[in-house]
Amino acid sequence: MSLQETVLMQLRDLILSGQFEPGQRLAEQQLAERLGASRTPVRAALVTLEQEGLVQANETGKYLVRQFTAQEVIDAIAVRGHLEGMAARLVAEHGVSRQLQGQLQTVLDEGDRLLADNPLTIESYAAYALMNDRFHALILDACGNRALQRAVELNDKLPFAPASAMLPMQGTVAMDRDWMLYAHRQHHMLFDALRRGESARAQALAVEHTEVAQMNMRLALERRAESEQVLPGIRLVVG
């Protein structure tokens, strides 16, 4: 896990929690000072956030916070669920190769190890996000449907649509760890369905898996509303 991943997690969380106004410029130096990092990982994280649709570059190349609605995020997550459901079904129908089985098991073992930390640290959180991305990417790569893969790539450009973009990280560590443990159990169940060739079950599990992201979004919105009551100067962007 790199410092860039840690910075990415922190910046994504700051945007979701409403710490920046829509259209606000994100200055690299100020962000670096705020996060205790150099400008290099901040710059790399901003590039990723632009790809995810959370920030946008103006004519001069400066990054601004993009405005988005809760419905945009909910729709994007729902689309991801159905696309990944189709990918899981295809993998189960084709059969899981010994190589893919080994790769998925290695990823799952890594997730188990990371979630054993209690409480989770920002480092273990960022490492779990990488593991989560890897798990989803392995299934998508193995589905063999390039049109489906392109559809996921396109959907990933919408706010909080990528697999790890809606992982919880809003301050209530114990509750967030519980949600992540639940989501990782779903990873194990999906792996089991893939190995058994249970295509319908694999598809249903992949779709259900995105419901965790939906719950995380609702939780994030509730926390933002609470923050606005304490800090009325922070305006809600999502919703």
Q: Which residue has the higher pLDDT, 13 or 44?
A: 44
d(CA 46, CA 26): 9
How high is the mean pLDDT of the chain?
86
Say if residue 21's pLDDT is above 70. yes
> Domain 3-65 carries which CATH code?
1.10.10.10
In tens, the pLDDT along 139-161 reads 999 999 999 999 999 999 888 88
| pLDDT higher than 80, residue 174 | no
Q: Which two tokens stand for residue 209?
A: 């898996």
Task: Tell me the pTM.
Answer: 0.82
Of residues 224 and 115, more confidence is placed in: 115
Question: What is 70-230's CATH superfamily?
Answer: GntR ligand-binding domain-like (1.20.120.530)
Percentage above 90 pLDDT, the chain: 54
Kindly report, residue by residue over 114-139, the tens digit of the pLDDT: 999 888 888 888 888 899 999 999 99
Decide if pLDDT at 237 tops 60. no
Residues of the chain with CATH 1.20.120.530: 70-230
Q: DSSP assignment, residue 43?
A: H
Q: What are phi and psi of 92, to 5 degrees?
A: -65, -40
Burial class (CB in 10 A: 0-12, 13-18, 19+), 127: buried
Residue limits of CATH 1.10.10.10 in the chain: 3-65
List C-alpha distances in Å: 159 to 16, 55, 184, 237. 10, 9, 23, 12
DSSP of 139-181, one letter per residue? HHHHT--HHHHHHHHHHTTSTT-STTTT---SS-HHHHHHHHH
